[in-house]
Amino acid sequence: MRIRLSVLAAALLLFPMCAESGGVVRAAGDAQSGSGDPMAWLRALAAETAGTDPAAVRRLEAEAGSAPEAVRPAVQALLAARYEEYLGAYGDAVDRNIARTGEVPADFCSWTRLEFLRRIDGLYQAALAGRMVLLKIPANALPGAFPEPAEADAGLPTLLDRVAARAAGFYEGSAAEAPAKAGTPAVGPDSPLLGSWEDFVAEVKRHDPADPSPGWKILRIHAWLLGAHSLDGDRDAFLGWELRRLRAVGALAGWGDGVAAAWSGNLEQLLGEFPDVPALSAACADLSAAWERQGDFGKSLAAAELGAAAYPNSPGGRRCRERARLLAAHELALEPDPVMVPGEARLRVRYRNVGRAYYRIYPDRWVNQPEYHEIGFSAGGRRSVERLLARRPQAAGSLELPEPAAFEARRVEIELPSLRPGFYRVLISPEPDWKRSPHLVAGWFWVSRMTVVCTPRPDGAAGCVLDARSGEPLS
C-alpha cells in the first residue's frame, strides 16, 4: 500500500459527505461577526458559552446562524458539543419532557431526547460538510469542547480531526441509534470495508450518501479523513485514522467468523509499513487484543511486548505494557466446596502461568464474625495468616500443574488426605517460601457428613439438613 496516490487522493478531497442540518439552527440577534478576526471571535465565543448553562447555550444558538463563513462549521460543531454536554448533565430532566404533536418547542430545555439527538446529528453533519474550513483551523482552537484525545500518538493535527473524532463517538454511542433505525453495514472477512484503505474508501463512496444509518455515517467520516491525511505527509495522523477505521469496522461487524483474522492481517501489514511512527504502539495494542480474542495468547504477548519496547512512553506503549503484564501475570485461586464429605475432600484450584502449587491445611475453630474469615494480607487478615503459618499443618503438599504457560486460566483438582469432621483453613502458594510469597491465597471449608439446603422466604429462610453423601434428609 502506498500512501501518496495523487489521482485517488485528489478525488478524495471531493468525496461528498451527507449534510442533514435541516435548518435546525436559527440565528438570534446580532452575532457581531462582520468585522475583526474570525478566529479571535470564535475563541471568545467558545469561552463565553462554555458549560451547560441554558443562557450560554442560547447565546451559542443565536450566533451559529450568522457566524463568519471562515468559522461557521466550527460554531456548528461547538453547538452540537454543547447539546451533548447538556444532555449528559440533565438527561433525567430531558427524559421527563413529553413529545408533542405539531411544532417542536423553540427552547431546547423542552426538547425530548429524540429531538436532541436529531439536532446533534444535523449539526455534526452540517459542520463536516464544511470540512475544508475545519482543515484550516488549528487543532487546539477549541480545547474545551474538542480536547486532545487520550491516545495522542494517533495524531490529530487540525480541528477537523477533533470534530470528526467527537462526531464519530456520538454515532458510536447506543443513543445515536434513536434518530435512524436503519441497519449497520454488513461486514464479512472478504468485505472491501476490511481491505486496504483505498478499497475501503471506494466502497464507502459507492454507498448511497443519504443513508441515515449511524454506522455508515461513522464510515464516511473515516473515509474522508483517510483521504485527507494521505496527502498531508503526516504519517502519524494517517495511521491514527486507519486504526480508528479498523476498530469501527470490526465493531460494526461484531467480530464474526473470520473478521478477527482479517482485522489482524490488516494490523500486521500496518506494522510493517509504519515501523518508525509512535502510533505503531497503539497498533500493537490493538493487534495484541485481536490475537487474544482469537485465543493465540503467545502472539498476543509478542505484539504487546513489541509495542511496549517501540515507544514505551506513548499512550499506546503504556497500553502494551499493561497488556503484557496482564498476559504474563501469575494467577492462583481456590474454589473449595463449602462442605466436603469425610474421605472425599478435594480442592479445586484455578491457575494461570503457574507451574507448581504448594498447599497447607489447618484445623481451626469457627468464629461467627465476617471479618475473621476475610483471610488475606490486609488489616487483621495478615495476622490471621501469620498465626496459621506458625502452626503445624495437618496436611501439606505440592502439585505440578499441567500446561503452566498457557496464558489461559485452567482448573485442576487436588485430592486431600483423609480429614476428620471439622472446620479447616487452607493456604496455597506458587512459592515454597510461605512468608515471602507474593501470591499466597487463603480459603476455608467444612468436612462434615451433613449439609444444609436453604430456601429464601418473605419472612426469612427455610431449610433442611441433608446427608452430604446421599442427599437424603436427616431426621
What are the φ/ψ torsions at residue 339 (nearest 5 degrees)? -130, 130
Provide the percentage of residues in the chain whose pLDDT is more than 90: 23
Most confident of 89-98, 411-420, 457-466: 89-98
Average pLDDT, the chain: 79
Residue 331's H or E segment, with its range, is: strand 331-334
* β-strands 339-340, 441-447 pairing: parallel
pTM comes to 0.67
100-111 burial, b if ≥16 CB within 10 A, otherwise e?
eeeeeeeebeeb
Which residues, 6+ apart, have CB-to-CB distance to 35 below 8 Å?
Answer: none
Q: Is 469 helix (H, G, I), strand (E, B) or coil?
A: coil
How much is the pLDDT for 182? 47
Q: Has residue 372 got a pLDDT over 60?
A: no
Q: Where are the alpha helices (DSSP H) in 337-379?
A: none
Reference 121, options 207, 219, 42, 18; nearest CA is 18
Task: Summarize pLDDT for 64-97 with one digit per residue, the tens.
Answer: 888 999 999 999 999 999 999 999 999 999 999 8
User: Do 361 and 403 touch, CB atoms closer than 8 A?
Assistant: no
- Rounded distance, CA 254 to CA 262, Å? 13
